[in-house]
C-alpha cells in the first residue's frame, strides 16, 4: 500500500489563512505587522524568493518593504541598514536573503539583527531560547515540519525520531523541536556508521542531508513517517526512470525544463514502504514561507505587547 502523501501546499494555505485572519483583526485595532526583506546583488534565485515573500505579505495584509542593494555593498553598509531597521517600530521582522556576496561577513550581519525581529530564527539568542525550550522565534522550515506533523495528527510524543543532517538551518533545530515534544531523537551525519540501520529505527524520519535520493527503501521502517527536506535536480534520463518510473507529470516537467526536482528520498521506493511521505516539490517547501509570515505576526505580538 502506497504511503499517504503529506500535502505541504494545503497545510501552508491553512497556516496563511489563519495568519491573514489574525492580521485583519489586529489591523482593525490599528496594528499591522511589518517585514523588511533585504536583497543584496543579482542572484536570480534570491530575487524570486524575495519577490515571493513580498507578494505573500501583500496577500495576507502584512506591510512589507523590499530593499535591494548593489552587488558591491560592503559589510559596513549592510550593517548600517540593519541598525536602521532595528530602530524602526513598524518593522517587526528583518529578513536578510542568503547567500550574500562574498565580500560581506554574513555572520556579523546576521548577528546584528535584533533577536526580537529575527524572523528566520537564526540569531544566537533565538538559538539559545530554542535549546532551552524558551519562547522565541523558531527557524521557519523546522517549525513548518512540526506544523505538518501536528496537522496530520502524527504522534510525536513517545516516538523515535531520526534526523539525517545536523545543519544549523534544519537538522539541529528540528531535532530540538522534536525533543521538546518528547520524541527520542537521534541525529545522524556523514560520520554516522551504518546510517541505514539507524534510520530504520525511526517512527519519524527526517531527511535533510543534501544528497539526491540517498534515502531508499532500506532506510525506512514499514509505516514510518518520512519528511523529505532536500531539493535536488534530476537532469538525466537514467535517474528520471529510476526515481519516477513512467510518471507522466515528471516526464513532462523533465522534457519542458530539462530537469525535475527530487529530494533526499527516493520517492518511487520509499512510497511503497512508508506510512506517510512528503513530496518534492509540494511538501516542506510551501511551509517555509507560511511560517515566515507566522513568525512576522508573532514578532509583532511579542514586540508590541500583544503576544
Residue 25 is placed in which grid cell? 483583526
Q: Of residues 97, 203, 239, 261, which has the active-site annotation?
A: 97
The CA angle 218-220-225, to the nearest 5 degrees, is: 160
Given the residues 114, 118, 120, 203, the one annotated as active site: 120
Q: The C-alpha cell of 120 is what? A: 528566520
Task: List phi, psi (to 5°) of 22.
Answer: -70, -40
Catalytic residue among 16, 53, 66, 294: 53
What string of DSSP letters covers 162-177?
EEE---TTTHHHHHHH
Active site residue 53: yes
C-beta atoms surrounding 198 within 10 Å: 17
Q: Is 282 left (phi over 0), alpha (psi -120 to 50) or beta?
A: left
Under 8 Å between Cβ of 291 and 140: yes
Please name which of 142, 260, 92 lies closest in space to residue 268, comparing C-alpha atoms.
260
The C-alpha cell at 77 is 553598509
**Catalytic residue IDs:** 53, 97, 120
Amino acid at each position: 500500500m502506497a504511503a499517504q502523501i503529506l500535502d505541504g501546499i494545503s497545510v501552508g494555505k491553512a497556516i496563511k489563512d489563519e495568519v491573514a485572519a489574525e492580521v485583519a483583526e489586529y489591523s482593525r485595532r490599528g496594528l499591522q505587522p511589518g517585514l523588511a526583506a533585504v536583497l543584496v546583488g543579482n542572484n536570480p534565485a534570491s530575487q524570486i524568493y524575495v519577490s515571493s515573500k513580498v507578494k505573500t505579505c501583500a496577500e495576507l495584509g502584512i506591510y512589507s518593504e523590499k530593499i535591494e542593494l548593489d552587488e558591491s555593498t560592503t559589510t559596513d553598509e549592510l550593517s548600517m541598514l540593519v541598525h536602521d531597521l532595528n530602530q524602526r517600530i513598524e518593522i517587526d521582522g528583518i529578513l536578510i536573503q542568503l547567500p550574500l556576496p562574498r565580500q560581506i561577513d554574513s555572520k556579523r550581519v546576521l548577528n546584528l539583527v535584533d533577536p526580537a525581529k529575527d524572523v528566520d530564527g537564526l540569531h544566537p539568542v533565538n538559538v539559545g531560547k530554542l535549546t532551552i525550550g524558551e519562547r522565541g522565534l523558531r527557524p521557519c522550515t523546522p517549525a513548518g515540519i512540526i506544523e505538518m506533523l501536528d496537522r496530520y495528527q502524527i504522534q510525536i510524543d513517545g516516538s523515535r525520531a531520526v534526523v539525517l543532517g545536523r545543519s544549523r538551518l534544519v537538522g539541529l533545530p528540528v531535532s530540538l523541536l522534536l525533543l521538546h515534544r518528547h520524541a527520542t531523537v537521534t541525529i545522524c551525519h556523514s560520520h554516522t556508521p551504518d546510517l541505514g540501520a539507524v534510520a530504520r529505527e525511526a517512527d519519524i524520519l527526517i531527511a535533510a542531508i543534501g544528497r539526491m535520493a540517498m534515502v531508499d527503501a532500506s532506510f525506512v521502517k514499514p509505516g514510518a513517517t518520512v519528511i523529505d527536506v532536500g531539493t535536488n535536480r534530476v537532469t538525466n534520463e537514467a535517474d528520471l526512470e529510476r526515481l519516477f518510473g513512467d510518471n507522466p507529470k515528471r516526464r513532462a516537467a523533465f522534457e519542458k525544463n530539462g530537469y525535475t526536482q527530487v529530494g533526499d528520498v527516493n520517492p518511487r521506493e520509499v512510497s511503497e514502504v512508508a506510512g506517510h511521505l512528503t513530496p518534492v516539490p509540494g511538501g516542506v517547501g510551501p511551509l517555509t514561507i507560511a511560517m515566515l509570515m507566522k513568525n512576522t505576526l508573532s514578532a509583532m505580538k511579542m514586540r508590541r505587547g500583544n503576544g
